[in-house]
């Protein structure tokens, strides 16, 4: 008997028929003698619908007070899901009980709309499991110190599931979704993408941080920190396939590097359309520029990603960086009002029509020339590179958004990922 956490995403929970199917699958695992904790997302489209309602009644000002209410609204999608799923599991003849994040409780900090899990008290859940119940816990939500409801950022149900698995020292966390594993790149963009049987934790962390939305990055961080055995697999296989077969399907996140030794230099390609580029022009080139610009941005709680400072020309330089598109206008306004006058810079310009494309692979550590293969491939396609950033196991470029699919497909071929 093992303690297993299942997570089901929005599409897997997308209709009452699908929820009944999820219940049948969970019941199969419970009947095989496993203790089951299930973490579902809101039904597909529901979180967008809820946030759309909020947008209708409130102007788009970002403030902690607005964000608090957004969480109050957005969390309800998962509340409906857990109730429905618990009912469907009961209809399978098992005992099941549902909980909201605050009932467990899953405690988070107070960063509304992107809260971080701080601790999980598993006493109530353990008591239910010991009494033979299936426990169904909302994904995506938690509660802060002041008893305010928080949410964990879009895609946050993955993180709820892995955090619960970590807190309870579960034997495995299975992430059921609408694809049958982690692919070399998004199979919806490149049909030739291949499913990976395993992916190292480090590569998965990079893929997730660089835009592969198959797993929320914080879920991967939790898996790494607490060594949670974790697998991504399909919820669309027939619910009654043998458990042994199901348990080996999909993609396993591995923690041993050696397994990758013989494999491809580049394991996957990620892309991200969520960023925007901002350039501060004509900044006097003297110590303190980066701090003068990015210090203000950080104070406003805006995350910065790729950063470039050009060589100076007659004592002036240009400074570019990317932020999330949601933070674009706020950043530009802040720079214009505070930073440009203070630094004596010339102007601020920006571009929201960019994307970041990245190649990821542990093998890049030991192979030279991988980045140059990437640059050659993009130049052969006539794609201009605007910014470059590298780390030990990834190279990212910022390019015009309109070339994103072309770039991803060409790189997928260039690194023979379809072979």
Region 205-234 residues binding ligand ADP, contact defined as CB under 6 A: 212-214
Residues with Cβ within 8 Å of residue 307, at least 6 apart in sequence = 290, 294, 319, 320, 321, 389
| Among ligand ASP, ligand ADP, Mg ion, none, partner that 140 touches (CB below 5 to 8 angstroms by kind) | ligand ASP
Residues with Cβ within 8 Å of residue 313, at least 6 apart in sequence = none
Instruction: Quote the CA–CA distance of 237 and 247 in Å, as a whole number.
Output: 12
Looking at the Cβ atoms of 41 and 251, the one nearer to ligand ASP is 41
Q: What angle separates helix 157-167 from helix 217-226, to the nearest 10 degrees?
A: 10
User: Is 328 assigned to a binding site?
Assistant: no
DSSP letters spanning 373-419: HHHHHHHHTTPPP-EEEEETTEEEEEEEGGGHHHHHHHHHHHTTTT-
Which DSSP category does 256 fall into? -
To ligand ADP, the closest distance from the beta carbon of 183 in angstroms equals 4
Tell me, rounded to whole angstroms, the distance of Cα 108 from its chain centroid. Answer: 18
Q: What would the x/- binding string for ligand ADP be over residues 5 to 34, using CB under 6 A?
A: ----xxxx----------------------
The dihedral over CA atoms of 110, 114, 119, 123, expressed in degrees to the nearest 10, equals 100
**22: closest CA among 10, 34, 33?**
10
E strand intervals along 178-311:
198-200, 230-234, 251-254, 268-272, 275-284, 304-309
Residue with tokens 């520029």: 289
User: Is 286 assigned to a binding site?
Assistant: no
Q: What would the x/- binding string for ligand ADP be over residues 140 to 179, using CB under 6 A?
A: ---------------x---------------------xxx
User: Is 24 assigned to a binding site?
Assistant: no
Residues that bind ligand ASP (CB under 6 A): 9-10, 41-42, 47, 77, 139-140, 154-158
Partner residues linked to 193 by β-bridges: none
User: Is 159 assigned to a binding site?
Assistant: no
Residue with tokens 């049987």: 197
Looking at the Cβ atoms of 198 and 216, the one nearer to ligand ASP is 216
**274: closest CA among 337, 331, 323, 235?**
323
| Among ligand ASP, ligand ADP, Mg ion, none, partner that 357 touches (CB below 5 to 8 angstroms by kind) | none
To Mg ion, the closest distance from the beta carbon of 384 in angstroms equals 32
Looking at the Cβ atoms of 84 and 339, the one nearer to ligand ADP is 84
| Among Mg ion, ligand ASP, ligand ADP, none, partner that 212 touches (CB below 5 to 8 angstroms by kind) | ligand ADP
User: Is 331 assigned to a binding site?
Assistant: no
Looking at the Cβ atoms of 12 and 254, the one nearer to ligand ASP is 12
- For residue 174, the surrounding DSSP H or E stretch is strand 172-177
| Among Mg ion, ligand ASP, ligand ADP, none, partner that 77 touches (CB below 5 to 8 angstroms by kind) | ligand ASP
Q: Which residues bind ligand ADP (CB under 6 A)?
A: 9-12, 41, 155, 177-179, 182-183, 185-188, 212-214, 268
Enumerate the known binding-site residues: 7-10, 47, 78, 177-178, 183, 188, 213-214
Q: Which residues bind Mg ion (CB under 5 A)?
A: 9, 155
């Amino acid at each position: 008997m093992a303690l297993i956490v299942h997570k089901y995403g929005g599409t897997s929970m997308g209709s009452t028929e699908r929820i009944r199917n999820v219940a049948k699958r969970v019941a199969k695992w419970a009947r095989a003698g496993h203790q089951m904790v299930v973490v579902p997302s809101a039904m597909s489209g529901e979180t967008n619908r809820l946030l759309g309602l909020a947008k209708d009644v409130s102007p788009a000002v970002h403030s902690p007070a607005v964000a608090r209410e957004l969480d109050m609204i957005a969390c309800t999608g998962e509340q409906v899901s857990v109730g429905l799923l618990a009912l469907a599991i009961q209809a399978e003849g098992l005992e099941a009980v549902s909980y909201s994040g605050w009932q467990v409780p899953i405690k988070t900090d107070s960063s509304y709309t992107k809260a971080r899990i701080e601790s999980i008290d598993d006493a109530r859940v353990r008591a239910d499991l010991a009494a033979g119940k299936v426990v169904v816990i909302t994904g995506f939500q938690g509660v802060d110190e002041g008893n305010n409801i928080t949410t964990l950022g879009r895609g946050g149900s993955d993180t709820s599931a892995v955090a619960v698995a970590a807190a309870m020292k579960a034997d495995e966390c299975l992430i059921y979704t609408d694809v049958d594993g982690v692919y070399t790149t998004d199979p919806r963009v490149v049909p030739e993408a291949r499913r990976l049987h395993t992916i190292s934790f480090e590569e998965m962390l990079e893929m997730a941080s660089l835009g592969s939305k198959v797993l929320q990055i914080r879920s991967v961080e939790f898996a790494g920190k607490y060594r949670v055995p974790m697998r991504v697999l399909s919820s669309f296989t027939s619910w009654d396939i043998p458990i042994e077969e199901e348990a080996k399907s999909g993609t396993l996140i591995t923690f041993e590097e050696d397994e990758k030794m013989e494999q491809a230099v580049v394991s996957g390609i990620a892309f991200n359309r969520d960023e925007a580029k901002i350039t501060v022009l004509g900044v006097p080139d003297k110590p303190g520029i980066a701090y003068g610009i990015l210090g203000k941005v950080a104070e406003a709680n805006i995350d910065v990603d790729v950063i470039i400072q050009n060589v100076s020309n007659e004592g002036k330089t240009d400074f570019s960086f990317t932020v999330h598109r949601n933070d674009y206008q706020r950043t530009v306004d802040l720079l214009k009002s505070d930073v440009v006058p203070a630094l004596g810079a010339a102007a601020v310009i920006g571009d929201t029509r960019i994307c970041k494309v990245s190649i990821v692979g542990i093998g890049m550590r030991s192979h030279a020339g991988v980045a140059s293969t990437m640059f050659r491939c993009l130049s052969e396609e006539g794609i201009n590179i605007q910014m470059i950033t590298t780390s030990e196991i990834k190279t990212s470029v910022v390019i015009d958004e309109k070339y994103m699919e072309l770039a991803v497909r060409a790189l997928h071929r260039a690194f023979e990922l379809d072979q």
